[in-house]
Structure 1
Amino acid sequence: MTKAPFSGEGERASDLLGLIDSDVCGPMNTQARGGFQYFITFTDDCSRYGYIYLMRHKSEALEKFKEFKNEVQNQHGKSIKALRSDQGGEYLRQDFDELLK
């Protein structure tokens, strides 16, 4: 059984902070200075502007999201409307869910 190619065009956010794409990557084979083995990315879907935060442990994802959220909301005077991820375990924690509500 073959899969049909994706033929549609994905919808893009029409406003800053309307949709944020995020992903956690790691552990890396080689640690960065300071013992960082992971990083988390946040990309604004409208502007395609990206932010990268280094992490020592995957469990720091919530704290880095809070840091990112405070930074961009203060900078733009707007709230994040939606967060899109690959449904990794770091985004499925209850405290992360409560913050997003």
Structure 2
Amino acid sequence: MRVEYSLLAPYIIKITANLWHQRLGHPGNQAIKSMGLVDSLNRCSACELNKIHKLPFNPQLNDANKALECIKIHMVGLIPPPSVSGNQFFLTIVYQATSFEMVNSLKHKSEALKRFFVAKAYMENLQNLALKKLVSNCGGEFLNKDFNPLTELKVFLHIF
């Protein structure tokens, strides 16, 4: 039986260094070289993307020694699918000095400000102290007409 290789040509793929790299789970250059497959790799966009990381908050913001000296808030969402109760967002509030955390689940992003003020009032009454510094990720829920007057009146310092 004779095989006509010209008929197989469309199904034959040239296996490149990058294809080996992808199929083997994106190992580094050294691993690929040690297998004797190729000498070097081209840049892999997936590997470069996975090496990117978000910088942590400024270390100067981690100097809180007393309760309510510094609070960090972060909004997460839209999370598909919604929870059984219809929540698609959550708000985390971390009290820096004590590492006490509160997590509030929300149906709408617009609820974040109200939940923050409820948590703030609760902790201020509990500790008999006032909030001094608030750190947020510069999200729109904390940069609006309802929130800005408090920072302008110097009720507390808002850091982004």
> What's the TM-score once normalised by structure 2's chain length?
0.55
Q: Alpha carbon RMSD of aligned pairs, Å?
A: 1.6
Check if 1:98 corresponds to 2:149: yes
Rg: which structure is higher?
A: 2
CA deviation after TM superposition for structure 1 residue 86, in Å: 0.8
1:14 pairs with one of 53, 60, 65: 65
Counterparts of 1:1-101 in structure 2, within 5 Å, are 10-11=59-60, 12-100=63-151, 101=153
Number of matched pairs: 94
- Distance in 2, matches of 1:32 and 1:81, equals 34
Deviation at 1:66, TM superposition (A): 1.1
Tell me which of the two structures has the higher relative contact order, counting C-alpha pairs closer than 8 angstroms and 6 or more residues apart.
Answer: 1
| Structure 1 residue runs of 4 or more that deviate by more than 3 Å after TM superposition | none
Q: Give the TM-score normalised by the residue count of structure 1.
A: 0.85
Residue type at the aligned position of 1:93:
N
| Deviation of the 1:33 alpha carbon | 2.2
Deviation at 1:70, TM superposition (A): 1.3
C-alpha distance in 1 between matches for 2:78 and 2:70? 26
Identity %: 29
Q: CA deviation at 1:61?
A: 1.1
Gaps of 5+ in 2: 1-54, 154-160
C-alpha displacement at 1:43, in angstroms? Answer: 0.3
- Whichever structure has more helix as a proportion of its residues is 2
The one-letter amino acid of 2:75's match is: V
> Structure 1: which 5+ residue stretches go unaligned?
1-5
SS of residue paired to 1:94 = coil
